[in-house]
Structure 1
Amino acid sequence: MQVLWEREIPVDTIKVSPRPVWKCRACPMYGKRPSCPPHAPDWKEAREWVGSFKRAILVKFEIDMNDFENEKRKVLLWLLDKERELFREGNFYAMALFPGNCNLCPDCPFERGEPCRMPEKVRPSVDAVGIELSSLVEIDFSESVLYGLIMVE
């Protein structure tokens, strides 16, 4: 996993709608992870939440698709570390949003109806809360990348 870039973006450029949430319904992970709908805040609540911030950081990660789960896990941990760093700098409401479902645990107990092992680390996915990533960046599906978002202040 490699960070390709970090870009500060104004929050008014973030489009929140029901479209990504509906797309989530077609995902095989829908409802199976705590970061996914219907467990994530709904898009209307998320739109209000996003609007309470002034800025965010969009991060583009290059990953090795042959080791997707491990690479994605590194991305999630990087986002959580960055969130913690921003918090320590005085951005007390900084919060990361994951690219897709949470995979912090290689064997997710939540999928089996058991409690999440790391509820303090789970964050909703960008799509799960209705954020249209395509409103922020041109997506090129030939790239082996993931995008994360951190709401800052």
Structure 2
Amino acid sequence: MAFRDTKPEELNFLVKKALELEAIEAKIIPTYKVFVEKRVVLKCRGCIGYGKKLTCPPNVPTVDEFREILKEYRYALLVKFRSPAVADEEIAKAPYRTWLDPAGSEETREKAAKFWEEYFDYSKKILLSMLELEKTAFNEGFTFAVAFVNGSCRLCEKCNVEKGTCLHSNMARIPEHAVGINMKKTAAESEMPITFPIKGQPEPMSILLID
């Protein structure tokens, strides 16, 4: 397959732009360091958004389909952010949606609700930053640049999945795990590790494919 003759250092303008958009770290990596695994999408099946969003499984490319797509890209930009949400040890290890657990204490539910509200609010900012990076790459001639996001789409209160038409198709992007990207392994192999369980402020990571 013929690729555009681009050197990694020629993409440093995207690293600079990511830092201007308040990313705490960004790095250009070859796409062979983007790890795609079928087991990743098993986590999606346990999510409350499974089948309810047009940007989530089973409404997105399968893992096998995405592997073929990834072969058409040579580089990716890994972008790490730092959320203003702060998780203490109790919330960090608690299951998602703890705020709805009737068996939990009121204090725990309130702390969990506050944490996830702040986390998801910030995820919208991450989406806008990734879209800006996608546009920046496009304007420099990388017309097939496409952003992925951390976490499921939250542009609409309820996705228009029943009618099969995205109301914000120019902005909605697929979560990286929804197509099988193992972000933990990808980040670790690129020396930008993600820490689990969360300690303090989460550091969500997104990826931009470039070509």
Q: TM-score, normalised by structure 1?
A: 0.91
Residues 35 and 124 of structure 1 are in contact (CA less than 8 Å); yes or no, is this contact kept in structure 2?
yes
Q: Distance in 1 between matches of 2:40 and 2:173?
A: 16
User: Does 2:181 correspond to 1:101?
Assistant: no
Equivalent of 1:48 in 64, 68, 76 = 68
CA–CA distance in structure 2, aligned partners of residues 127 and 104 of structure 1:
18
For 1:15 and 1:123, the matched residues in 2 are separated by: 19
Q: In the alignment, which residue of structure 2 is the partner of 1:76?
A: 127
One-letter amino acid matched to 2:78: L
Structure whose residues are more often helix by fraction: 2
Greater RCO, CA 8 A, separation 6+: 1
Query: How far, CA to CA, are the matches of 2:23 and 2:34 in structure 1?
Result: 21
Following TM superposition, by how much is the alpha carbon of 1:116 offset from its aligned partner in structure 2, in angstroms?
Answer: 2.7
Match status 1:28 vs 2:83: no
Alignment partner of 2:136: what SS?
Answer: helix
Q: Which amino acid aligns with 1:7?
A: K
**Structure 1 range deviating more: 16-25 or 84-93:** 16-25
Q: What is the rounded CA distance, in whole Å, between the counterparts of 1:2 and 1:88 in structure 2?
A: 21
Report the alpha carbon displacement of residue 2 of structure 1 after superposing the two structures with TM: 3.8
Deviation at 1:110, TM superposition (A): 2.5
CA contact (8 A) 2:54 2:159 kept: no
Q: Give me the whole-angstrom Cα distance separating, in 2, the residues matched to 1:4 and 1:34.
A: 30
The 3-state SS of whatever aligns with 1:57 is strand
Greater Rg, structure 1 or structure 2?
A: 2
Aligned equivalents of 1:51 and 1:116: distance in 2?
Answer: 27
TM superposition shift of 1:30: 1.2
1:17 matched to 2:67? The reply is no
Q: Secondary structure at the match of 1:69?
A: helix
Secondary structure at 2:195's aligned position in 1? coil
C-alpha distance 110-64 of structure 1, shift in aligned 2 (>3 A): farther
Unaligned runs of 5+ in 1: none
Report the TM-score, using the length of structure 2 for normalisation.
0.67
Could you tell me how far 1:28 is from its partner in structure 2? 1.4
- Matches of 1:102 and 1:126, distance apart in 2: 11
For 2:179 and 2:149, how far apart are their aligned partners in 1?
Answer: 10
* Structure 2: gaps of 5 or more residues: 1-20, 86-114, 188-192
More strand by share: 1
Deviating above 4 A after TM superposition, structure 1's stretches of 4 or more consecutive aligned residues are: none
- What letter is aligned with 1:11? T
On the 8 A contact 1:76/1:104 being kept in 2, the answer is no
